Amino acid sequence: MYLNKKNKKKIHFSKMHGLGNDFMVIQNITQNFSISSNKIKELSNRNTGIGFDQLLLIEKSNNPQFDFNYRVFNSNGNEVEQCGNGARCVGLFLILNNLTHKKKIHLSTRKKNITINFISDTIIQVNMNEPNFSLNEITSSKKFKINNFSVKIINNNLLCSLVSMGNPHCVIKVESIKYAPVKIISQIIEKKFIFPEGINVNFMQILNKNYIKLRVYERNEGETNACGTGACASVAVGIVKKILDKNVQVQLPGGNLLITWKGFGYPLYMTGSANHIYEGYIYI
């Protein structure tokens, strides 16, 4: 089939993943283009497009305190605030594409600013800042039975802890993630009007104070292989509730992350891998 390239721009990208959470990563620094939400939906299709969980867009920063600006788009074309696995992939992308030679990179994002540190060539630590337990960050509803930062939803029978890592999370402690009705409960919570920007739902099984298993149902996406901010949010809830220690291994379907947090007044750190899959180009 003939591709009409007239008036189209050739845009280079990288396909990357963090624990199976996969991304299309594009830099708009040496390239110059705009991309619509419809085009993102088209590209995210795993049968007819590139296929990815999120598109990550890297831009120049207008603030000299930051090296780059970092934006995240879900596969439905909506821009969201944050992606922890994506942040590690952005760091690796910048090094592989010779856009920086720094081992410590400062990124500005839609809501929070983050710092990336290279532990090794593919193991990256991200300063995710301090978790935000203010309910006003996540919901404006006053119809909750509120106990600290926890709420009861679904006929007041399900205790859900709320926290923001720059994006909103609901954390539910379960006996076994294997048998947890992740999709059913998440879709009920997702439809609640009390979360105007939607919410990610995390199902946490505690093995001991330093090890948890986690499944995450991401808003507008469904269950994913891994969610970095979900791992951060879940551990933060466990630490505040004093059921987890300050260093926790999080086992996700796609692999493990190390989450470290000393508590209120301190930033939370996430450490894990980032992987490059292939290079490609498209015409926009």
Given the residues 89, 160, 170, 227, the one annotated as active site: 227
Contacts 24+ apart (CB under 8 A), 176-182: 176/205, 177/203, 177/204, 177/205, 177/213, 177/214, 177/215, 180/205, 180/215, 182/215, 182/217, 182/223
Look up residue 14 and give its amino acid.
Answer: S
> Does 160 qualify as catalytic in the annotation?
no
Helix (H, G, I), strand (E, B) or coil at 2: coil
Name the packing angle between helices 84-96 and 228-240 (round to 10°): 130
d(CA 49, CA 46): 6
| Identified catalytic residue from 83, 89, 160, 232 | 83
Concerning whether 232 is annotated as a catalytic residue, the answer is no
Closest to 30 (Cα-Cα) out of 98, 109, 86: 98
Tokens 């899959």 label which residue?
A: 277
Q: What is the dihedral of CA 136, 140, 145, 151, to 10 degrees?
A: -60
Write out the catalytic residue numbers.
83, 227
